[in-house]
Amino acid sequence: MKLFLKSSCLLTTLLLPLLTASPLRAQITETYNYTNLNLFIPDGNSSGLASAQNIFSSAIDAITRVRVTLSLGTPPDSDDVFNGDLYVYLQHGPGISILLNRPGRTSGNAFGYGDNGFDVTFADNGANGDIHNYQNLIIPPDGSPVTGEWQPDARMLDPDAVLDTSTRNAFLSTFNGLGGNGQWTLFLADVSSGGTVMLNSFSLQITGQPVPEPGTAALFAFGAGALLSCWRKK
């Protein structure tokens, strides 16, 4: 009988890592679109505009990637947008990513780029590189928005002090490890007078590990209980 118990306990000990290990779970991607917002961003006002969106149905337990699509343009019967005025960030839980921070602002250009709006996607590995310096790659035609896939500005600095040489540390990876559910807030400010901007739409694409199935927790409890029973019998 003792030999049987010892053999059973040894087998349980050897199998416990297999019993309790979470199975490999394929990552999933969810997309949330917020269209036809048509919200005016106050001109020359750092208090800005916040668009808060609550997600309750996400199946993602641990985020591994976030992409953001953003459309900013000129309201009807208004002056052109001045892109160098814009400061935009995305916040979720403790994470914050700076999408735009006075694009084009350098030590030799305190006002930044004077182009007209954005219709872009942000991703940490965006093929076009740092959006702060987008004119190094493209100069949009007059009256047209910047397009394409870009890396976030990521400069977490006062918009009145930011430069192209400022440190970049507020990427979209700040959301990695967080769950998908909760409030996602897009904040936008036009920090210098001249030109009026409208938030047309934005979307979130969230990729990550799904919430573990209930059976995984039950399996862990069974394995741990079996091993504890063996220890007691010893």
Structural domain of 99: 25-212
Mean pLDDT of all residues in the chain?
A: 86
Tens-digit pLDDT profile for residues 181-209 = 999 999 999 999 887 899 999 999 999 99
Q: What is the CATH number of the domain that holds 57?
A: 2.60.120.260
Query: Is 220 inside any structural domain?
Result: no
Query: Is 146 inside any structural domain?
Result: yes
Query: Is 7 inside any structural domain?
Result: no
Query: Is 228 inside any structural domain?
Result: no
Query: Is 222 inside any structural domain?
Result: no
Per the confidence metrics, is the pTM higher than 0.85? no
Query: Is 140 inside any structural domain?
Result: yes
**Strand pairing class (28-34; 60-73):** unpaired
Tens-digit pLDDT profile for residues 111-162 = 999 999 999 999 999 999 999 999 999 999 988 999 999 999 999 999 999 9
Query: Is 15 inside any structural domain?
Result: no
